[in-house]
Amino acid sequence: MTDAPRDTTANETGPASRPYSPGLEGVVAGETALGYVDGERGRLLYRGYRIGDLVAHGSYPAVANLLWTGDWIPDHHLPTAAIPRAVMTVLRALPPDAKPMDALRTAVSAWGAAQSLAWPPTVEQARALTAFSPSALAAIARLRSGKEPIDPDPSLDLVAGFLYQLTGSVPDAATARALDAYFIVGAEHGFNASTFTARIITSTRSDIASAVTGAIGTMKGPLHGGAPLEVVDQLSRVGSADHAEAWVRDAIDRGERLMGFGHRVYRAYDPRAAALRTVAEGMEHKPDWLKLATEVEDVVLRVLAEKHPDRPLKTNVEFYAAPVLMGVGLSPDLFPATFSLARHAGWTAHVLEQAATNRLIRPDVNYVGPPERDLPT
């Protein structure tokens, strides 16, 4: 018997080869009713509601419930949750120099192992996980400082409760409000890298804790969740408003990227930055970081418009996230993990949406390796 003849006429990428878009840019990978990101006009909607209105008139628990259920209940209450004993044992076993994102990822995974989570995911599971993670991050921060974790106060809403468990003091209303605004603007942003990761994991019919654990791992990457840290470093190097213009011009001439400006999606001013700036400027005790940030922003936008008139580079959310997070007393190494807490509402809402009409996410790939060949003899 002779071997069947080989087809050598077809391209090795296959007859169904399609155009490749690096980073999946411009590729429509699904549908969602949760968030609408309008980059051209600088709009962000959660279930149709403008982000600025949600910040002005809502709270993070109300926004989270909106994303999970579609219902707008302005006075919805969601306190932080107690840490299961098994999870606390895991947290105490971590080395004191463990990075907060690594520790939070571990905490969510351990929480999932302790829950016996069933498929499909539920709103109750989303609430429970979103309420658990702030307690876990607060405990992580205290343990590494040699302090004991603090039990939740059920009378406090989630953001104020997180700050209480972190510091041991109930925050003043303005501080809690500023961080709550940050949580709201960070809750949801379409098919970003971490959200898409959560949906991919969910599409395999894995549980909600696995999906969020994977999302946290994605958020850990500096191209996704680390930008506010870099804004802090940038503002430190600027030093003062008097030096801002010279520093900005030198940085642009050197080809440096200005952190907090420009965005993969937005071509207009990031509406999340606008909402955060409004809330931050209303803080009773404006931190020096905020004053410097507003002065530097004005200079940067003016110089960018002068040097790149045909290339729209506007302020993005990270620029004001940094001074807000500093202003409420968080250390910079907690920024990515705190961003992850805020994104829990969106991640878990996408998990619920993916599960409701699930199909395994399995894209095609173009093969670009060598053609079919024999092993050397």
> Quick check: is 318 catalytic?
yes
Which candidate, 315, 345, 334, 326, places its Cα nearest to that of 131? 345
Dihedral in degrees, nearest 10, Cα atoms 226, 229, 231, 232: 180
In the sheet that holds 35-38, the strands lie side by side as: 35-38, 43-46, 49-50
Token code pair at residue 233: 């470093």
**What 3-state DSSP class applies to 8?**
coil
- With beta carbons less than 8 A apart as the criterion, state whether 305 and 269 touch: no
d(CA 347, CA 133): 13
Token code pair at residue 293: 């940030």
Which candidate, 164, 107, 76, 114, places its Cα nearest to that of 345? 76
**What 3-state DSSP class applies to 45?**
strand
Element (H, E) at 49: strand 49-50
Which residue out of 188, 189, 297, 318 is catalytically annotated? 318
> Quick check: is 12 catalytic?
no
What is the DSSP annotation of 279-310?
HHHT-SS--HHHHHHHHHHHHHHHHHHHH-TT
Q: Which sign, positive or negative, has the C-alpha torsion 157, 163, 166, 171?
A: negative
Which residue out of 189, 263, 344, 350 is catalytically annotated? 263
Mention every residue, 6+ apart, whose C-beta is less than 8 A from residue 48.
36
Q: In this structure, what are the phi and psi dihedrals at residue 127, rounded to the nearest 5 degrees?
A: -60, -45
Token code pair at residue 89: 């044992």
Q: Which sign, positive or negative, has the C-alpha torsion 98, 131, 204, 110?
A: positive
- With beta carbons less than 8 A apart as the criterion, state whether 59 and 52 touch: no
Catalytically active residues are: 263, 318
